[in-house]
Each structure stands twice: as C-alpha cells, then as structure tokens.
Amino acid sequence: MTKRRAVRLGVLILLVGATRQTVLPGEGIAGTYANLSFNVDGVGGQNRLMPRLELNADNTYRWGRESGTYEYRDGKVYLSGPYAHWGPGRVDKDYKIWFEFTKNGKHYTVTMYRASGK
C-alpha cells in the first residue's frame, strides 16, 4: 500500500467513525419532548409536572399554555414568546434538548428528551 493510499484510507476511517453531536439540518426535530431534568445551581431532578413540549413540523410549538414558533439551525432550537429568554436549546444526536440560562443570578439547566417523533 502506498503512503498516499494509506493516508486516504485513514481519513475515510476517521470520517466513517466520527460521531455526530447534533441532529443534522433537514432531519427534523418535530416531536413531543418531556422533562428529563430541571436543575437550579446544580440542584434538582426530574420535574414530572412540567408540561410536554410539542414541536410541530410547521415550526410552531406548544408548551403547556404557551405557544409560539421555533427555529432550528446550527444544532440549536430557538423558541419565540415567553421561553425566548431561555436562549437556544442545544439538540444532541439522541434528540435531547439542553437549555442553559441564568436568571436572577441562578444558573438553570433544563433537559428534555424526545418522548415521540412526528
């Protein structure tokens, strides 16, 4: 095997073996998401009373009594309306959404998991 061919094979192996950290554009994140954890300054746990987040294919959402639109780009979901101050939620390859924000000097981390796809 030539050195050039070995380098190409190595690059191919790296590309095939690479793992994605986010959902690719066009794959769609529409679905129903439930709370996995709700932490304030590192303390908390699952909030079973938190309403489910419904992301619709038409880029609208409903979260409890609130509704609005969302945008998905660069591996992040951006919500309009009252949840906009949470900032973008990072969407990982397993369709978990991670919101991290600071409010009144406290650091919040909210993690949602995809309960069902659409």
CB 77 within 8 A of CB 68: no
Segment 95-108 mean pLDDT: 96
Q: Give the total residue count for the chain.
A: 118
Least Cα distance to 39 among 102, 116, 90, 84 occurs for 102
What pLDDT, in 10s, does the model give residues 67-100?
Answer: 999 999 999 999 999 999 999 999 999 999 999 9
Question: For the ranges 21-30, 38-47, 99-108, which has the lowest average pLDDT?
Answer: 21-30
The set of residues, in sequence order, having a beta carbon less than 8 Å from that of 26 and lying 6+ positions away, is none
- pTM (two decimals): 0.75
**Is residue 97 within 8 Å of 111, Cβ to Cβ?**
yes
* Domains of the chain with bracketed CATH: 19-117 (2.40.128)
Over residues 38-44, mean pLDDT: 93
